[in-house]
Homo-oligomer: A and B are copies of this chain.
């Protein structure tokens, strides 16, 4: 059986590199081309040193892309929407890991990204590529969007509660994300300069973060239009890979721990990459991103304050895996009708 031919545009960044790594070991896929405007002609391993001796691929120029079965776009936000027609002409299936096709309406781009969308007619067609929420749509999709890394963590942590209809939406939802430095990309600058970034606990965009829009959209889809105030804030911490989200949700009825457990178990028991983590003992009692580096798992746990009818939801993932490239491959697996775990079985390391 011949392999599916996959190409990547924007392959020199961190998400691109992770995608190459995953697809090189994917049993059904052959990487035909990896394009990069800045790195054309260089070996892929010059940008991604972990791939030395593993691949002799070289970056091609984006203009030299030839047709393939699936095209991944790993471009900066705002770029792919302007060139999307060209990319769709190259491949019948396009998976865009940027933010350009995540939101369902052009107005939302105006509001959250601050510019007009360049291909508004495609927004209703694109599928938000989170298999746990949009699996059936993915099987038919020809344009799939990647998902924001902090949005993914938050949505996967919270969606079961919203779907179950137990959230008191008259009280604001507060979501706090802690995130590693790789989420800010491969480009160096003063904020990522090691002496200043190391050991940082740095609030950024404490209000108005773009991922809020995804959160509102997807939690709304999970349980009907969201009527709730959403307060999302993010803090950069000393970590390269990984996100931990802590979210505070109030319930519309008094539920005990078993009831919450049941909600999560029903939502996720058949999901290959969702794990419930809530232990009474030991060091790793709640989800922790540390042991997820390189894996596609999203771990979810919670704690209940019965009296306050409050649930603290704790969710963790690797921002380059389940938060970007890994989730993209999972979406590909869905689209192609393959086993969803193909190429994604690495369990993560301990200790690390």
Contacts and interface: CB of A to CB of B under 8 A. Distances in A.
Interface of A: 14, 17-18, 21, 24-25, 46, 48-54, 171-172, 174, 176, 178, 180-182, 186-203, 206-208, 229, 231, 233, 235, 237-242, 244, 246, 248, 250, 275, 277, 279, 282-284, 286-291, 293-295, 297, 299, 301, 303-305, 308, 310, 312, 314, 316, 345-352
Given A203-B286, A290-B200, A308-B231, A347 B21 contact: yes
Contacts of A195: 14, 180-182, 186, 192, 240, 351
Assembly of this chain: how many copies? 4
Contacts of A54: 347
B201 A241 contact: no
A303 B204 CA distance: 10
Nearest to A55: B347
Given A231-B248, A250-B172, A349-B241, A181 B207 contact: no
A284 B186 contact: no
Contact of A308 (B202, B229, B308): B229
A51 to B, nearest CB: 6
Given A174-B174, A193-B194, 8 more contacts: A17-B350, A53-B297, A182-B195, A206-B246, A207-B312, A229-B308, A237-B238, A240-B352
B201 A235 contact: no
A282 B304 CA distance: 40
Contacts of A305: 207-208, 231
18 contacts: A53-B297, A172-B172, A181-B198, A182-B195, A188-B192, A192-B193, A192-B195, A198-B240, A199-B239, A201-B239, A202-B286, A203-B246, A207-B312, A231-B248, A233-B312, A237-B239, A240-B351, A240-B352
A254 to B, nearest CB: 14
Contacts of A279: 46
A303 B207 contact: yes
B174 A248 contact: yes
A24 to B, nearest CB: 8
A206 B303 CA distance: 6
A190 B308 CA distance: 32
Given A186-B193, A195-B240, A244-B201, A349 B50 contact: yes
B196 A283 contact: yes
Contacts of A347: 21, 24-25, 50-51, 54
Nearest to A282: B46
A294 to B, nearest CB: 5
